[in-house]
Amino acid sequence: MHEKSDRLVARDMERILICLREKPMSCLEIAFTLRLTRSRIRSLLKLLADQQRIHAPTVTVESNTEPLNNLIFLWGTKQTEPDQPESDLSEPVNLS
């Protein structure tokens, strides 16, 4: 039983990485795209971040919410090739 769940985790993590190769995405966008729950995506994003395979270089700001609840992390894959230029994604983006 444990082996089956490990295979599912590995498969879902690979699906997330494929999504993130296209563009940075929020947890909600990934969940919608892959048709998985947000809690499942959040736990898999944490595993991928702990393995340093992804990071959240961009934070968007929703202006219609309370200040402490308005940050949405956009996850992306880490660059593996040193020749690729690193874009400046550290500035928050306003969604209003």
Domains of the chain: 2-94 (1.10.10.10)
Q: Tell me the pLDDT tens digit for each residue of 10-65.
A: 999 999 999 999 888 999 999 999 999 999 999 999 999 999 999 887 776 666 65
The first and second tokens of residue 54, run together, are 């992804």
DSSP 25-37: B-HHHHHHHHT--
Look at residue 51 in the predicted model and tell me its pLDDT.
93
Q: Tell me the pLDDT tens digit for each residue of 66-94.
A: 555 556 778 888 765 444 444 444 444 44
> Higher model confidence: residue 8 or residue 81?
8
Look at residue 1 in the predicted model and tell me its pLDDT.
57
